[in-house]
Amino acid sequence: MNREELKAILPHREPMLLIDEAVRNDDGSATGYYTVQGDEFFLQGHFPGNPIVPGVIQLEMMAQTCGVLMSAGGTAQTFYTGIDKVRFREKVTPGDTVRFQCRITKSKGPFHFAEGKGYVGEKLCVQAEFSIAVIAT
């Protein structure tokens, strides 16, 4: 899915649509991609002369990749309800393409529990477990 196709299933819009493309995989997981251009709002001041993608933005990219699995579209909205076991292993900088691998591990009612990892090349940059609520609108 490209950005326009993502807009059909995710509620996010620029500048907060933080994945460029995504794929639903046959194994029930999703893969999302984002290429850091260097002019993003979240790099302004983080850090002058040494821009690094903030960890919270990496986690949002991961959640949006997971949102592809839920295909909420215009009928529901997704909300982070918890983040656990977060680890930042490598920095993400302009020019990097981050690949996120996410899967749902459990669902109970409107709550979905997931795990995700983000890579630049083969280097693991971020990993986390998280929960998301899907609320009808």
**Do β-strands 76-88 and 123-136 pair in parallel, antiparallel, or remain unpaired?**
antiparallel
* Alpha-carbon span 107 to 83, nearest angstrom: 15
- Write out the two tokens for 62: 């991961």
Helix and strand element counts for the chain (H, E): 2, 6
Among candidate residues 7, 9, 40, 46, the one labeled active-site is 46
- What's the token pair of residue 64? 């949006």
DSSP notation for 14-61? TTS---SEEEE-TTSEEEEEEE--S--GGGTTSSTTS----HHHHHHH
For the question of residue 46 being annotated catalytic, the response is: yes
Q: Give the residue numbers annotated as catalytic, written as ranges.
A: 46
